[in-house]
Amino acid sequence: MPTNPLLSSTQAPALAAPGGAQAPAAGGLLGKDDFLKLLIGQMQHQDPLNPTDGTEYMGQLTQFSILERLTNLTETASASAANDYDQQAIALIGKTVTYKGADDTELTGVVERVTFSNQGPSLTIGGTDGISPVAVTKVA
């Protein structure tokens, strides 16, 4: 029973959890944990009189390895992009910028500091806190 880790949970065969309940799929896509659960379930339920060819398992393990590396690459790229965004916000300190205010008016001021939270960097411009770097339209 070869599995495709990129199939959505509605297309992929469901793995029964203990008690007959279906295992939940997060986000509608199978991840590396789901892939391993499917592989282990496949191995546990195979017919001992008709075992699966070893090359099929090797292919599935290769798919898992590729999935894991792609996941790690995506996480690294996301972290790198977030780091670049943070560095660009820090580079604005001391610069005069024009930004859109809450009422869509253009305001100008000097970036005094950058603060970080779970939502990302926030600028303090001319004494006004909480300005998103995305609101900056011009750097002088």
Give the separation between CA 112 and CA 126, rounded to whole angstroms: 7
| pLDDT bracket for residue 60 (50, 70, 90) | confident
> Are 116 and 86 within 8 A, CB to CB?
yes
pLDDT tens readout for residues 108-133: 999 999 999 988 899 999 999 999 99
pLDDT of residue 12: 41
Give the Cα-Cα-Cα angle 9, 57, 17 (nearest 5 degrees): 40
Q: What mean pLDDT is predicted for residues 84-96?
A: 93
Instruction: Give yes or no for residue 8 having a pLDDT over 60.
Output: no
The single residue listed with the structure tokens 């011009």 is 138
Alpha helices in 1-140, H assignment, sequence order: 32-44, 54-91
Query: Could you tell me the pTM of the whole model?
Result: 0.52
Q: What mean pLDDT is predicted for residues 18-38?
A: 61
The single residue listed with the structure tokens 């809450």 is 102
Instruction: Give yes or no for residue 2 having a pLDDT over 60.
Output: no
pLDDT of residue 86: 92
